[in-house]
Amino acid sequence: MDSVINRLRLVRNPARTKDIVVTRALGLILFCCLALIPAWTGAWAKTVTAKSPDKNITLTVSDRDGFLTYTVRFDDEVLVSPSRLGLLFKDHHGFDRDLKITQVKRTQADNTWEQPWGERQFVRDHHRELTLDVTSMAGPARMMRLRFRLFNDGIGFRYEVPDQDHFGAVDLIDERTQFVVPSAGTAWSIPTRGWNRYEYHYDTTPVGDLTSVHTPMTFRTPSGIHAAIHEAALVDYSAMSLKPVRPGVLKADLSPWSDGILVKTQTPFQTPWRTIQISRAATGLLNSDLILNLNEPNALGDVSWVETGKYAGIWWAMHVRDRSWGNDTIHGATTEETKRYMDFAAENDFIGVLVEGWNIGWDGDWFNNGDLFSFTKSYPDFDIETIADYGAQKNVRLIGHHETSGDVTNYENQLDDALTLYAENGVRAVKTGYVADGGGIERIDENGIRQYEWHDGQFMVDHHLKVVREAAKHKIAVNPHEPVKDTGLRRTYPNWVSREGARGSEYDAWAVPPNKPEHTAILPFTRMLSGPMDYTPGIFDLTPNERAPLRKDMLRNSVESRIQTTLAKQLALYVVIYSPIQMVADLPENYAKHADAFQFIKDVPADWSDSVAINGEVGDFVTFARKDRNSNHWYVGTLTDENARSISIPLDFLDSGKTYRAELYRDGPDAHWKTNPYAITIEDRMVTARDTLTLPLGASGGAAIRLVPVEAKPAVN
């Protein structure tokens, strides 16, 4: 360009001062014009590159043509093609075009932090960070910051909009984030904005055929890379779904408020992290701590009051229609029945008993009458103080229940009283519920007008965190059903112990169809990437709809209504589907019929010092090994979809040089969920880290194993 200006100077006569001035002015104008051209053509665009610590993942961010895009390569293959970034606001100029990267900062970290409970005690956070200041070159002066973190198992990025002129309160009307991924890949997903929230069977489709879906959304490229798109640290923002704008071009789609605004906030604000977990093997996704690493550290301080363990409940009896929640002749939540369950829990060393239906509001159409729920008044046949005393003697706690039926204003109005009552009666965990019969979550706004919100919009994101924070003040942990999806906030709020957020066991009691054989072979690779799930496993009567006496009008006496697992697979779920509180969901009398298999449930812990996904393919099978947090025992769970298969489990996770007694609970010969579900072989084998167990699994079968180190026998003289 200098030569262009020089040439311009040469054609003028330098002796004439006026000409010189004109020449210089022209030169300056031309210089400016030429300087602007690259911004439009992209020829001078800034391209910034960063790599994961192991260099397998490469991120490239560009402001070419004034549009901000990012690209992700894994193993030298493009996984995410150039994908747009940006934010739009209702009353302010947004960040979608005329953008320029004006500053680049790089940092890195490698540290290890400790979880109070979890899949593993110590978590390594090893990443490189790239922070880009992005300035708008048109309209009022404004800037935002994009922060990227690259781990060996994926990337996260978020937008940060600092305090500055021309902002303040902002209404977000679009997040332009795209994920352009190979449309020929295979995706596993559930639909978003459906009345049933996250409680759907997963669809297996080409990426190019995806409709609007929830995250985590997992996919495998034609070349065999596995990846999952999700988000971390969803705070004061709306949940992100993915909407295809063209095949393979997925765009952030935030759940709107009832008035259509996506997020109501003010500067300074930051979005949740948008995450892409990446691994060659499917199991790499299961061994990733990326979501937790992108969350803030524990904000609650001492959380030793958060209890992990197994719990029983007055619950399945209602779902199989033996009992009712409401105040009638088969009311489940009576003082006497609760004592019976507390006896059962005490005998087996379970931490508590969940009691649903003790409080007034369940009579009539409770799906639609959320405003009738009292969270402090009990039915006449339930005495909470008697129960608290009885539990204290038995060292078993009452586990609280707050079904809101989606009427959140009614719940929030009573929240403090409700938590106070529970805390006074020794309750350390509460299960909440947001069943809403299609209309959505109800709230009464500041003008007294009823509004309906999405279960994962900003209103509910804020509500759940409010409950978690309030509960923490009472030293109570929270386990929401019909929740907002998990984004790793258990790291910051360790009293957010579990949640539902997928089809759980309840579907096996009454749904047509019940959970399919492949369901729990998909969950670990999808829903479970977000965090613990209160799946409520351990159903031992696998044909609950084929017995008497049930309400005959509800009877679905068909093979299709059978629970589509073997007995051994029910045991495997305790290891495969992680939750620090695990329900022992069936009726005590059903466990008594299979006391030998029940022994595994008695033994298996719910808190781990380490976890390893050993093998698995999405939707086919999966095997986990986990080490007890409080002993040197290991546990293994493996399960398969509708196909019987042989599973090989190398035991190299065990301590070398030690011998272990492997207590196996595996599918027996000819086990099959439909024809022979109870066939179970329980046997001991002596093994070492050098052994590989090869186990035959029946159709929708599984195996559960406890591995106990044994002392070497003293030598005999």
Residues forming the site for ligand NOJ (CB under 6 A): 315, 356, 403, 433, 435, 481, 500, 506
Q: How far is the CB of 432 from Ca ion (least distance, A)?
A: 11
Residue the block writes with tokens 């007694």: 661
Q: Is 296 a catalytic residue?
A: no
**Helix H or strand E segment including 40:** helix 17-41
Alpha-carbon gap, residue 401 to 403, rounded angstroms: 6
Alpha-carbon gap, residue 134 to 395, rounded angstroms: 57
Q: Which is nearer to Ca ion, 431 or 481 (CB)?
A: 481
Q: Phi and psi for 559 in degrees, rounded to 5? A: -60, -35
Q: Which of 704, 272, 187 is nearest to 458 (CA)?
A: 272
Asked if residues 639 and 697 have their Cβ atoms less than 8 Å apart, the reply is: yes
Stretch that binds Ca ion, among 362-370, 392-400, 481-489, 589-597 (CB under 5 A): 481-489
The partner in contact with residue 667, picked from Ca ion, ligand NOJ, none with C-beta cut-offs of 5 to 8 angstroms by kind, is none
Q: Which is nearer to ligand NOJ, 261 or 577 (CB)?
A: 577
Q: Which is nearer to ligand NOJ, 250 or 318 (CB)?
A: 318
The partner in contact with residue 403, picked from ligand NOJ, Ca ion, none with C-beta cut-offs of 5 to 8 angstroms by kind, is ligand NOJ
The partner in contact with residue 118, picked from ligand NOJ, Ca ion, none with C-beta cut-offs of 5 to 8 angstroms by kind, is none
Q: How far is the CB of 431 from ligand NOJ (least distance, A)?
A: 7
DSSP 201: P
Q: How far is the CB of 406 from Ca ion (least distance, A)?
A: 12
Q: Which is nearer to ligand NOJ, 119 or 534 (CB)?
A: 534
The partner in contact with residue 313, picked from ligand NOJ, Ca ion, none with C-beta cut-offs of 5 to 8 angstroms by kind, is none
9 pairs with which residues across the strands? none
* Token reading at 32: 């400016």
How many residues comprise the chain?
717
Asked if residues 420 and 410 have their Cβ atoms less than 8 Å apart, the reply is: no
Torsional sign, CA 327, 330, 332, 333 = positive
Q: Which is nearer to Ca ion, 197 or 491 (CB)?
A: 197
Q: How far is the CB of 433 from ligand NOJ (least distance, A)?
A: 4
Pure H helices in 404-457: 408-424
DSSP 44: T
Stretch that binds Ca ion, among 114-122, 174-182, 239-247, 475-483 (CB under 5 A): 475-483
Q: How far is the CB of 235 from ligand NOJ (least distance, A)?
A: 24
Alpha-carbon gap, residue 694 to 411, rounded angstroms: 51
Q: How far is the CB of 622 from ligand NOJ (least distance, A)?
A: 23
Q: Which of 289, 192, 282 is nearest to 488 (CA)?
A: 289
Q: Which is nearer to ligand NOJ, 307 or 356 (CB)?
A: 356
Q: How far is the CB of 445 from ligand NOJ (least distance, A)?
A: 25
The partner in contact with residue 628, picked from Ca ion, ligand NOJ, none with C-beta cut-offs of 5 to 8 angstroms by kind, is none
Q: Which residues contact 576 (CB under 8 A, 6 or more apart)?
A: 520, 524, 622, 624, 637, 638, 639, 702
Asked if residues 234 and 484 have their Cβ atoms less than 8 Å apart, the reply is: yes
The distance from CA 162 to its chain's CA centroid, rounded to whole angstroms, is 28
Stretch that binds Ca ion, among 128-136, 241-249, 476-484, 638-646 (CB under 5 A): 476-484
Residue type, 95: F
Q: How far is the CB of 207 from ligand NOJ (least distance, A)?
A: 31
Q: Which is nearer to ligand NOJ, 315 or 379 (CB)?
A: 315
Q: Phi and psi for 19 in degrees, rounded to 5? A: -60, -40
Residue 106: how many other CB atoms lie within 10 Å:
11
Stretch that binds Ca ion, among 140-148, 329-337, 478-486, 671-679 (CB under 5 A): 478-486
Buried b (16+ CB within 10 A) or exposed e, 75-92: eeebbbbbbbbbbbbeeb
Q: Using omega within 30 degrees of 0 as the cis cutoff, is the peptide bond preceding 272 cis?
A: no
Asked if residues 260 and 251 have their Cβ atoms less than 8 Å apart, the reply is: no
Q: How far is the CB of 456 from ligand NOJ (least distance, A)?
A: 16
Alpha-carbon gap, residue 88 to 617, rounded angstroms: 39
The partner in contact with residue 269, picked from Ca ion, ligand NOJ, none with C-beta cut-offs of 5 to 8 angstroms by kind, is none
Q: Which is nearer to ligand NOJ, 372 or 435 (CB)?
A: 435
Q: How far is the CB of 69 from ligand NOJ (least distance, A)?
A: 41
Shortest-Cβ-distance residue relative to Ca ion: 481
The partner in contact with residue 501, picked from ligand NOJ, Ca ion, none with C-beta cut-offs of 5 to 8 angstroms by kind, is none
Q: Which is nearer to ligand NOJ, 182 or 544 (CB)?
A: 544
Q: Phi and psi for 449 in degrees, rounded to 5? A: -100, 135
The partner in contact with residue 486, picked from Ca ion, ligand NOJ, none with C-beta cut-offs of 5 to 8 angstroms by kind, is none
Q: Which is nearer to ligand NOJ, 356 or 667 (CB)?
A: 356
Three-state DSSP at 710 gives strand
Q: Which of 294, 228, 316, 222 is nearest to 524 (CA)?
A: 228
Q: How far is CA 360 from CA 274, 378, 381, 401, 467, in A?
A: 42, 6, 11, 12, 21
The one catalytic residue among 506, 642, 683, 711: 506
Q: Which residues contact 11 (CB under 8 A, 6 or more apart)?
A: none
Asked if residues 142 and 162 have their Cβ atoms less than 8 Å apart, the reply is: no
Strand pairing class (154-161; 273-279)? antiparallel
Q: Which of 121, 235, 656 is nearest to 466 (CA)?
A: 235
Q: Which is nearer to ligand NOJ, 403 or 541 (CB)?
A: 403
Torsional sign, CA 242, 244, 249, 252 = negative
Alpha-carbon gap, residue 95 to 104, rounded angstroms: 18
Q: How far is the CB of 431 from Ca ion (least distance, A)?
A: 11
Residues found near Ca ion in the complex (CB under 5 A): 481
Q: Active-site residues: which are they?
A: 506
